[in-house]
């Protein structure tokens, strides 16, 4: 597959898939957050108001943009509403990739991250699409998390663990769900 057309995209893909390891992707680490902030905060701020179509010129730039707008805010803005601010943009790019069927040429790890915006969405339609996508990947590439995310949206229509950050009041049932571990 051809390299991304933008330098930031090539660098982000290299860092994410070659420098970081799966434990870095899914376990909070201040040193990883700091490194990503140093290297990519400027790009996130500069590009986050651009239309999704701008990132759908080639598959690798689109994948890098999904990482930039879905994963990096969770590292750079951990514990803040900004962690979710660019989710709609990441979702639009992800859906654009699926429509073009560019995901078929990606590695399993790349496909997993391409589908994360579906998993992170608070829409049951997107959650259903997430399940349909993740069921086709090997179990270790996100299926258990896709199921648990879907259950929360099917049950509450939102992710209760985000409520405090987003200024939303939690119900007792939501508080119990978070206490039981549904707080990725």
pLDDT of 1 > 70? The answer is no
**Residue whose structure tokens are 């200024």:** 167
Cβ neighbours of residue 147 under 8 Å, at least 6 residues apart? Answer: 131
| Alpha-carbon torsion (134, 168, 173, 26), positive or negative | positive
pLDDT of residue 56: 98
Q: How far apart are CA 178 and CA 31, in angstroms?
A: 26
- Return the SS3 of 21: coil
Q: How far apart are CA 67 and CA 11, in angstroms?
A: 12
Full-model pTM: 0.95
pLDDT digits (tens, 9 = 90+) for 148-174: 999 999 999 999 999 999 999 999 999
User: Residues 87-94: what's their mean pLDDT?
Assistant: 98
pLDDT of 181 > 70? The answer is yes
Higher pLDDT, 115 or 182: 115
Domain spans of the chain, in order of start? 1-120, 123-184
Of 167, 135, 138, nearest to 150 by C-alpha is 135
Q: How far apart are CA 91 and CA 32, in angstroms?
A: 24
């Amino acid at each position: 597959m051809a390299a991304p057309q933008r330098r930031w995209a090539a660098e982000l893909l290299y860092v994410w898939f070659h420098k970081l390891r799966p434990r870095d992707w899914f376990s909070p680490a201040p040193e990883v957050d700091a490194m990503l902030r140093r290297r990519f905060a400027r790009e996130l701020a500069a590009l986050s108001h651009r239309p999704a179509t701008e990132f759908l010129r080639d598959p690798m730039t689109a994948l890098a943009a999904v990482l930039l707008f879905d994963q990096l805010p969770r590292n750079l803005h951990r514990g803040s509403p900004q962690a979710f601010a660019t989710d709609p943009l990441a979702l639009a790019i992800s859906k654009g990739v699926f429509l073009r069927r560019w995901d078929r040429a990606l590695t399993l790890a790349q496909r997993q991250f391409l589908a994360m915006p579906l998993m992170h969405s608070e829409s049951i339609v997107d959650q259903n699409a997430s399940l349909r996508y993740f069921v086709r990947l090997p179990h270790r590439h996100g299926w258990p998390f896709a199921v648990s995310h879907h259950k929360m949206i099917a049950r509450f229509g939102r992710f209760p663990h985000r409520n405090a950050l987003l200024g939303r009041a939690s119900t007792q049932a939501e508080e119990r769900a978070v206490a039981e571990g549904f707080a990725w």
